[in-house]
A and B are shown apart, each in its own frame.
Chain A
Amino acid sequence: MQSQLINNQWSDSRMEKHRFVCADEFGAMMSCIYEAWRWGNRGFIVELAVESEDNYQLFCVEHRVEVDEERAEKVIRSIRGKISYRALELVYHCAMSVIPEKLEVIYRFLRLGFVIGPRVTETLTEEPVMRIFEISRRVGNEAHRFNQFVRFTRWEGGILCSVIEPKSNVLTLIAPNFAERLISEHWMIVDKKRKLAVLHPADSRWYLRQLTGEEYDRILNFDRDHEEYALLWKTFFHHIAIEQRKNPQCQNNFLPKWYRENMTEFR
């Protein structure tokens, strides 16, 4: 009797949507994929999303998935082994985006990828593949822009500090570039919106860290505009432009205004 009831429950809930929600963090997203995958395999209708304020939905069962390092690592290993490295790269970039449906896009891309294999990244005619390419390209471009436009200020004690406000979560995407350039320097880049920082002690590996309120305030209160070299840089920046060729529109195309707020030469 009881088992019949459970069976009914199962079959009923098969008609409903199951919504898997996790924190906006790569490990959590991969754990979420793992969990949703199992339900999907049993024939449930699944939908995935990262947490945000207004994503409660009616007529669906919501599952909250926490980080599970082991499961996350399994997913990553499978993507790399059974699809390709390129696919993992796409997934990672996409996961760093701010687009709300990113996790759903990743899920549908992987569903396809585990069937087709490495060739999936060439089948651009498939919708999920196209989407993940689009999103990951947008994130990649933004990361590239921050490789260009990050500006450091030197604190007393020699630490180089930079504050940025990226749309995508680009810190881990840009850190390798700076670790290479500034290999023997102490530096940190702070994502103002996420209160996240990537830290790099000289001659050592970089790491990511959530800032405490106090740390955050201290960093933001630091004067970034009156350092000797900041002033010299402004001088250079203004003198290197050719008056007769003035072209603000062209400048805006390459350097959209929202990046400028944290750039020395525009402050």
Chain B
Amino acid sequence: MERSYTLDEKLAILSDAAKYDVACTSSGVDRKGKHGHLGSSISAGICHSFGADGRCITLLKILMTNECVFDCKYCHNRASNDVPRATFTPEEICTLTMEFYRRNYIEGLFLSSGVRKNPTSTMEQMFQALYLLRVKYGFRGYIHVKGVPGADPQVIREIGYLADRMSVNLELPTGDGLRLLAPHKTRKTILTPMRQIQQGIAQERLRVGVGEKMERAYRMKELPGSIFNENNLRLQKRTDEAILQLDGSGGTETSRKKFGESVDLCPDNRVSMSGRLDAGSEAGGCRADGLASASAGGLVPWAEDRGLSYVPAGQSTQMIIGATGETDYQIMRVAESLYRQFDLKRVFFSGYIPVNEDSALPGLDTPVPFLREHRLYQADWLLRFYGFQADELLSEDRPDFNVLVDPKCDWALRHLEYFPVEVNRADYALLLRVPGVGVKSARRIVEARRNGRLDFPDLKRIGVVLKRAAYFLTCNGRQMYPIAIEEDVLTRCLTADEGKKRWEVEHPQTYRQLSLFDDMHLAMMPTVEDCSKAAFGQF
């Protein structure tokens, strides 16, 4: 039973309960401050602190309640666990957010929740808290809100106007995994709100005239191989749907029935997910009655009157890695399909951390798969910024990432036919594929070579990591070292360096971890306007 706690105790319980959620970004939306209100938002995002685990703290990440009728086996808050349960009132959520924000502790609020009574009523309470925060308290900082699978589309629709980002957790990479470990969730109850949010975002974007799809990294929408290229998106539709089990193979009748008794999970839904997808715009409704079409994309007058927009920073998701037996290949294909078919802004991976003992779960002494998680993020970066596709990185025959070298080096070593690349001639897409050349350096190379021919010292200045790139590049036809471009030779050269890094990733407690989470917003320069105000504020 829930007893009464002080605010401090509640905060301890409900931040403890929320810490396994990965996302803590505040990026993707620009909002100016406004007189009489509190807060603004800049699209690069700002991290405000770093915890003992080295993860950034950007948002006040809390659960509204950790009471939960769901019994997901891996979860600390599952119904069958005997843990202290607490619930914030909407007022408490608001004052914490406002007062923390004022003191520059946070960039905004990340609100998730356990499922109290049922998904719809849970989300209605979350809605109340956010409505109070945005409308009554006038909060203009960042808000990230979780969508609870199975909630009524109406509340998903309306809460989206109060949030900057929404996310519905995929939880596990496959429907089978979900059946095994999260009996109260199905692929369908997860993907339905995800689709609804996607369509809401698309509609909103068309309304304000910025194009249906989310912004992507430099030139990623045009490069021929990129997953964000419209052509690939269409070509891959069927495959992606099969991978995501949109055909319904992810949710079984039994799991739904069993669940339907305790919780109202839209039992009257007769239209299949894929059927609705083909039907187009009217997707997302959980119920097949009039409410679905009205709520999926219908008008929300209170929000429009206030000039609020729908989930402007886009949608993300996360899945647990290593609790079930998927290969890296399967995971990457799922991530890729989600980017392509759901236009997600980010897919997060969360290395499985054992908190519960259960026969369906890996043992309590299972180490956190740091290196695997790290490789998956590296590959995710290759998808989002470098124009790679999952199939280029892995295959059925080679389903897991190389532990010895990073995915980009690994790809290069298997495709020596492209190398060496001549820096002064190669196009942007190819430069991006050279190990040691990042997005910034590739862009700088393309710019700088207009003014003259580049040589190795120039590359170093530009920021190319020659330790890796040297083996794959020529400047004016010359290599940096006279070395044979052969797989064995190069592998040896590259792994000599990689070995130490690998050890560090696997042993974060003792050695420094790679700055993987060096998300773009960490080293952002102030904007031009900021500096202009600064330069002339004094005069």
Contacts and interface: CB of A to CB of B under 8 A. Distances in A.
A41 B534 CA distance: 30
A26 interface: yes
Interface string B29-57: 00011111111101000111111111111
A235 B524 CA distance: 29
A246 interface: yes
B461 A124 contact: yes
A55 interface: no
Contacts of A160: 102-103
A263 to B, nearest CB: 7
Contact of B8 (A130, A147, A151, A235): A235
Nearest to A171: B534
B12 interface: yes
Contact of B47 (A88, A162, A233, A254): A254
Nearest to B529: A176
Contacts of B496: none
Given A249-B511, A254-B50, A254-B522, A175 B448 contact: no
> In the complex, which range does the number of interface residues on chain A fall in?
35 or more
B315 to A, nearest CB: 23
B11 A235 contact: yes
A92 B535 contact: yes
B55 A183 contact: no
A237 B49 contact: yes
Given A92-B531, A241-B53, A172 B509 contact: no
Contact of A239 (B15, B47, B49): B15
Nearest to A79: B535
B20 interface: yes
A27 B539 contact: yes
A131 interface: no
Nearest to A254: B50
B353 A239 contact: no
Given A151-B103, A247-B509, A263-B49, A144 B525 contact: yes
B16 interface: yes
B534 A85 contact: no
A143 B104 contact: no
Contacts of A180: 32-33, 40
A151 B530 CA distance: 20
Nearest to A231: B8
Contacts of A10: none
Nearest to A93: B531
Contacts of B38: 181-185
Contact of B508 (A150, A151, A246): A246
B7 interface: yes
Interface stretch (A11-19, A45-53, A97-105, A202-210): A202-210
A122 B531 contact: no
A156 to B, nearest CB: 15
B185 interface: no
A246 B37 CA distance: 37
A242 B451 CA distance: 50
Interface string B87-98: 000000000100
Contact of B104 (A162, A249, A252, A255): A162
Interface residues of B, number: 73
B483 interface: no
Nearest to B518: A254
Contacts of A175: 533-534, 537
Contacts, number: 222
Contact of B523 (A141, A177, A232): A141
B538 interface: yes
A141 to B, nearest CB: 6
Interface in B423-470: 447-448, 451-452, 458, 461-462
B538 A27 contact: yes
A249 to B, nearest CB: 4
Looking at B56, B104, B525, B537, the one whose CB has the most chain A CB atoms below 10 A away is B104
A261 interface: no
A31 interface: no
Given A184-B38, A239-B16, A173 B526 contact: yes
B461 A130 contact: yes
Contact of B34 (A183, A247, A254): A183
Given A160-B103, A254-B522, A149 B451 contact: no
A183 B523 contact: no
Contact of A240 (B19, B39, B40, B452): B19
Given A69-B539, A92-B531, A242-B19, A203 B447 contact: no
Contact of A229 (B54, B103, B539): B103
Contacts of B102: 152, 154, 160, 182, 185
A206 B448 CA distance: 39
Contacts of B18: 240
A173 to B, nearest CB: 5
Contact of B537 (A208, A252, A263): A208
Contacts of A203: 35-36
B513 interface: yes
B71 to A, nearest CB: 22
Nearest to A162: B104
A26 B49 CA distance: 31
A170 to B, nearest CB: 10
Contacts of B259: none
A233 B51 CA distance: 12
A37 B526 CA distance: 30
A176 B12 CA distance: 34
B99 A89 contact: no
A206 B534 CA distance: 10
Nearest to A90: B531
B60 interface: yes
5 contacts: A69-B539, A152-B102, A229-B99, A232-B100, A250-B54
Interface of B: 7-8, 11-12, 15-16, 18-20, 32-40, 42, 46-57, 60-61, 96, 99-105, 141, 353, 368, 447-448, 451-452, 458, 461-462, 508-509, 511-513, 515, 522-526, 528-535, 537-539
Name the 10 nearest CB pairs between A and B, nearest first: A250-B54, A249-B512, A241-B51, A183-B33, A247-B54, A247-B508, A245-B53, A241-B52, A250-B513, A180-B33
Given A172-B534, A229-B103, A239-B19, 8 more contacts: A76-B535, A147-B46, A149-B48, A152-B104, A175-B533, A182-B33, A250-B512, A251-B54
Interface of A: 26-27, 69, 72-73, 76, 85-86, 88-89, 92-93, 122-125, 130, 137, 140-141, 143-144, 147-154, 160, 162, 172-173, 175-185, 203, 205-208, 229-233, 235-255, 263-265
